[in-house]
Amino acid sequence: MPHKITLTGSATGPLREYDRYVAFDMREKGSPSAPKGLKKSTFISYTVFVAKKAFNKTGLTKKSIMHEKILIQGEPTLDIPIDECPGEIGVICFQITVLPNKSDKEKNESDAKKESKKEASAHSQEQKNTESTKQGEEQAAVSQPVAKEDEKAETVQSEVKETPVQEKKTEPQKKPMPNQPKGTQDLLSFDDIIVPEEFLKTRPNPEKTQKVIDFVKRTGRLDEPLTIEKGSKILKDGYRRYIVAKTVKMDRVPVVYEYQK
């Protein structure tokens, strides 16, 4: 069974074009937790080989590939001549994706904040209009001449009945968190989440994972919150979305809590 490998980063060298494919070099940090007694690894260099048809679909060029952050999914190979594969490991790519950069992420967050401020401003204006209408009605009631004592009593009684209804309308309603998936209860720091060993032994379906990545690129958020055990912060469901959040380097992720039994 062939091995699978996933790389993230930018090209460290120029794009090389061949007859039916292109190649470029990448590098990633080695394992941060090597077994005791082994020398800690620094960087591992890779040479990635991509079919021209798949590469052209990404919209990347010889210049942009040096600056865009990309996700590579493929199989390692040691059968390519060293003059074509200067990296320590060759990778035959079957999926290449351009990841959203930091400025795109900040723009999405900025748009969400602006939308939240706009909603708050509209709600505040609605309260002011309601209060202004109420004051106008009270002033009109005072300025009108009262002919009989019983009519005055009825006016006061009517105002008392109407006031709670107006106040009830102006009560602020609880709104969901802006730009977060439905059902989100909290935003949790990504580094605080504990992933069980049984999740780490699995590998989510690449096609479904890519769909979630495309959704994040389009909306700036995950499609669903992660399920976290309250208190222990252990991941109970949503490992694929956890992998996507790690890939696009989210600082905080939306969660829904599951309480300990």
The architecture (CATH level 2) of 186-258 comes to Alpha-Beta Complex (3.90)
* Candidate ranges 47-51, 169-173, 245-249; pick with highest mean pLDDT: 47-51
More confident residue, 100 or 17: 17
pLDDT tens digits, residue range 148-180? 455 555 655 555 455 554 444 555 555 556 678
Find how far residue 76's CA is from the centre of its chain: 30
Give me the residue spans of the domains in the chain. Answer: 5-31+41-99, 103-169, 186-258
Residue 113, helix vs strand vs coil? helix
Counts for the chain of helices (H) and strands (E), in that order: 6, 10
Q: Is residue 73 scored above 90 in pLDDT? A: yes
Q: Indicate whether 146 pLDDT > 50.
A: no
Please report the pLDDT score of residue 168 as a whole number.
47
What pLDDT shows up at residue 91? 92
Distances (CA, A) of 157 to 153, 160, 206, 217: 6, 5, 68, 58
The CATH number of 5-31+41-99, from 3.30.420.40, 3.40.50.1000, 2.40.50.1040, 1.10.357.10, is 2.40.50.1040
CB atoms closer than 10 angstroms to residue 24: 25
Q: Name the average pLDDT for the chain.
A: 80
Rounded percentage of the chain residues whose pLDDT exceeds 90:
26
pTM of the model: 0.39
**Angle CA 161–167–173, to nearest 5:** 140
Most confident residue range from 22-31, 138-147, 169-178, 212-221: 212-221
Q: In whole angstroms, what is the distance from residue 223 CA to residue 242 CA? A: 12
